[in-house]
Amino acid sequence: MILDDLARLASRLPPSIFIVEDEVVVAKDIEQTLIELGYRVVGRAINGATALVEATQLKPDLILMDIGLAGGIDGVATAAAIREQTSIPVVFLSGLIDPATLDRAGATDSFGYLVKPFTPSVLRAAIEIAMRRSRAEVSAHAREQLLATTLQAIGDGVITTNEQGRISFLNPVAERLTGWSSTEAMGQRLDEVLPLRDEGTGERAAFSQPGVVDGVTRSSKGTLLVGRTRTVAIESSSAPVLDAQAQVLGAVIVFRDTSEQQQLRGQIRGYQKMEIVGQMTSEIAHDFNNVLSAILMCSRFLVGSFDEEDPRRQELEEIERSGNRGVALTRQLLTFGRRQTLDAAPLNLNEVVTELGQMLRVLAGQVELRFEAAPDLGLVVVDRGQMERVLVNLTVNARDAMPAGGTLQFTTTNLTLDQAGLPELHHLRPGRYVVLSVTDNGCGMNAETQLHAFEPFFSTKEPKSGSGLGLSASHEIVRAAGGEIVLSSELGRGTTFTVYFPRSEGRTNSYTRELSARVDSAELETILLIEKELSAREHAARTLEACGYRVLRAADLVEATALADSFGEHIHLLLSDVLISGADGTHEPSQLELLCVGAQQLLMSSYADDPAQRAGANALSPNVIRKPFVSDALARKVRTVLDSGTTLGRPLDSTAVR
């Protein structure tokens, strides 16, 4: 506040003037005149040397300088020396008017020239004109400094040219993007320094044409060639610089590197494409699972009708095995499409790698796959589909690192980690682990790439070659299972991803024996089955009827509602496809509640990420059985739900759904 007050006070003070005159009488007379005119005289000097020292110390607002000074350095030379060190304006005083003196004085950028003797009014006019010009120059210089600082600090590249299209300025960003230094580019043609080609036509951008700059404002997107090999995606705009008569004085070109934005947009488009592929895969898998459900239930139903030695039973068992292979294929398709069911369970990684091997070989192309499996490998708890996704991502990543072919080695082992063995595994706790390592002999990664490898959307591939999400997703999957994934790589030597999973003491589903499909307690229990696919509906009904249940069949909610209203007896279980809809195309939990008061509910689903399923699960907390399923699995699941005691609690109001 005090400094501001002092600045305002100083601005109201009359200008301070320093007099340089070797004739003392004349100097005193000028000083007296200045005082009478209201100016402040801050000092006098009689020679150039003294004037140079005192002027730089006193910093007056203006200097009155006699040209004909004695002492070896005249007023013109003194003024030139002062102007080199300061911006103080100088008005020359002289008793002579000769062209040579005027030329010398003009070369010092003087602010005026008074011929002695002069009147007070002439002196005042000369001083005021000089002061106004000085203030204008100071203001212009401040604006130039502000502009220069802005251009130096701005994040975009800026180039200015003269009217012939020759470079007059480059800021640091422009130097970095073009590869030209400001010194090298000065005076060069714009099209040489900024060889920009239009994104749409591939032709040279209009403002980058050689020749005279026109008066048109333009914007464009294109590619900038830096050197002979590197290209940079650029967005640019250019505008003419015009004088008061609208004559072109030059041009200003502002441009920015959009390579990262384009790469990000490409990655997002790739991710969206994968979402579309995943959705399509999920729809196909849903229909395929309905077919497989019918095949598996029918074959299982028929197998029990033949003795073990009967050749027909062997044929049926082969049909069942083929159906189970179809189930595995469907799961792999959902894994590839990122729509797999999340169902963590104890797994043997040897089995997962082996069963996924054919698909991995197809993905690997000309890369040779090898697998070294630990014979006594422990179990890990992780969703099988997610684990398969990790294997797919690591395989694709290794394949891309070996475009000319190579070897991809999968190795499993058991490992016990103590505290000393966890320097780079700070996320893990000491204990027993199952380790999967995936090693390629490809190009490897540098330290910078390794640092960012697990970041979402980070990719060293071409924008259309990958989404940058594979390693990031794999990292999250492993972390979610309580494990860790560690990357080690060396340029020219290859890359190893080491995946650590906590070892589980559980048993895999493959170790459990099938329970009997017939459930003795099923007598007199009624199931309302809602399934739009006729074959799936009939085979599920036959399976349940063979277990002793009474089954009411419906294709949709409208038909199911009619059955519930007309049946007249208690319905124990509502078994429905998760996407079953009513006449209005909706799937509201309230409709399910209105069907059967006091009934348990079991949903059948082929989807891993279905909004209707999530809505139903949140509202009713139902059990879900995944399609495709075999008869025994359906029977066990139905019995479990019926014995759970959880029911739909809303009273039945048949008038509400008629």
User: Considering the chain, what percentage of its residues have pLDDT values greater than 70?
Assistant: 75
DSSP three-state, residue 491: coil
Residues 52 and 94 in one domain: yes
Q: Which of 133, 150, 167 is the last residue of a domain?
A: 150
Tell me if 616 is assigned to some domain: yes
Q: Which helix (H) or strand (E) holds 248?
A: strand 248-257
Q: How far apart are CA 185 and CA 177, in angstroms?
A: 13
pLDDT band for position 523 (cuts 50, 70, 90): low
pLDDT for the residue numbered 373: 92
pLDDT > 60? residue 635: yes
Residues 545 and 638 in one domain: yes
Residues 131 and 164 in one domain: no
Q: Do 78 and 51 meet the contact criterion of CB atoms below 8 Å apart? A: yes
Lowest average pLDDT, out of 89-93, 128-132, 296-300, 424-428, goes to 424-428
Q: Do 367 and 406 meet the contact criterion of CB atoms below 8 Å apart? A: yes
Tell me if 263 is assigned to some domain: no
Lowest average pLDDT, out of 38-47, 128-137, 263-272, 565-574, goes to 263-272
Q: How far apart are CA 331 and CA 337, in angstroms?
A: 10
Q: pTM of the prediction?
A: 0.42
Tell me if 298 is assigned to some domain: no
Q: Which of 150, 176, 197 is the last residue of a domain?
A: 150
Residues 146 and 160 in one domain: no
Residue scoring higher pLDDT (545 or 99): 545
Q: How far apart are the first and last CA of the chain?
A: 82
pLDDT for the residue numbered 649: 46
Residue 165 DSSP one-character state: S
List pLDDT tens digits, range 418-473: 766 665 666 778 889 999 999 999 888 888 787 777 776 666 666 545 555 678 77
pLDDT > 80? residue 80: yes
**Residue 274, both tokens:** 């994968």
Residues 34 and 119 in one domain: yes
Most confident option among 33-47, 356-370, 464-478: 33-47
Tell me if 644 is assigned to some domain: yes
String of DSSP letters for 310-335: -HHHHHHHHHHHHHHHHHHHHHHHHH
Residues 480 and 532 in one domain: no
Residues 524 and 471 in one domain: no
pLDDT for the residue numbered 206: 53
**Residue 596, both tokens:** 């059967």
**Domain around 70:** 11-150
pLDDT > 80? residue 603: yes
Tell me if 322 is assigned to some domain: no
Residues 90 and 209 in one domain: no
Q: How far apart are CA 213 and CA 163, in angstroms?
A: 5
Residue 136: which residues within 8 A CB-CB, separation 6 or more?
A: none
Q: Which of 150, 175, 201 is the last residue of a domain?
A: 150
Residues 93 and 112 in one domain: yes
**207: closest CA among 267, 270, 176, 251?**
251
Q: What is the average pLDDT score of the chain?
A: 77
- Tell me what the mean pLDDT of segment 278-299 comes to: 72
pLDDT > 60? residue 417: yes
Q: What angle do CA 386, 389, 395 make, to 5 degrees?
A: 150
pLDDT for the residue numbered 8: 45
Question: Which neighbouring-strand residues pair with 112?
Answer: 91
Q: Residue 278: phi, psi to the nearest 5?
A: -60, -40
Q: Which residue has the tokens 């996704």?
A: 389
Residue 397 Cα distances to 249, 393, 497, angstroms: 55, 6, 10
Residues 530 and 499 in one domain: no
Tell me if 537 is assigned to some domain: yes
User: Considering the chain, what percentage of its residues have pLDDT values greater than 90?
Assistant: 17
pLDDT for the residue numbered 61: 93
Residues 524 and 508 in one domain: no
* CATH code for position 125: 3.40.50.2300
pLDDT for the residue numbered 240: 85
Count of domains observed in the chain: 4
pLDDT for the residue numbered 467: 53
pLDDT for the residue numbered 654: 32
Cis peptide before 15 (omega within 30 of 0): no
pLDDT band for position 581 (cuts 50, 70, 90): very low
Residue 243: which residues within 8 A CB-CB, separation 6 or more?
A: 249
String of DSSP letters for 633-651: HHHHHHHHHHHH-----SP
pLDDT for the residue numbered 32: 93
Tell me if 363 is assigned to some domain: yes
Residues 384 and 508 in one domain: yes
Tell me if 361 is assigned to some domain: yes
Q: How far apart are CA 270 and CA 468, in angstroms?
A: 9
Handedness of CA 70, 71, 77, 80 (dihedral sign): negative
